[in-house]
Amino acid sequence: MELKPDETRQIEINTEEITDVNLSSRVVLFNDDWHTFEEVIAQLIIATKCSFEKARGFAFEVHVKGKAIVFSGSMSECLRVSSVLEEIALYTQILT
């Protein structure tokens, strides 16, 4: 479509941003050689608000397999959980 010299075309610009990050994500916790089971269990309970038994199971899985998915949820929740785990220098990764 060609415009005549006295015609203008109107363009609508959408400036709305989507800032909600509700992607389904997972937090992976990796094994290390310097944290005790008690330290890992305690931090998992704080970070994920899970029971002692569940945290102990995660810690054992991390110890045996080298890593475990310890939390699933939105990206913002995973960032919070990962941050709490990393407060004591645990190594985590978030997968999407």
**Interval 76-82 mean pLDDT:** 98
26, β-bridge pairs = 72, 95
Q: Residue 20 corresponds to which tokens in the numbers above?
A: 């909600």
Is the separation of the CB atoms in 85 and 92 below 8 Å? yes
Closest CA to 29 of 7, 8, 57: 57
55 has pLDDT over 80: yes
Model pLDDT for residues 12-45, shown as the tens digit of each residue: 666 665 555 555 999 999 999 999 999 999 999 9
- pLDDT (0 to 100) of residue 65: 98
Closest CA to 82 of 93, 73, 74: 93
pTM (predicted TM-score): 0.77
Q: What is the mean pLDDT of the chain?
A: 89
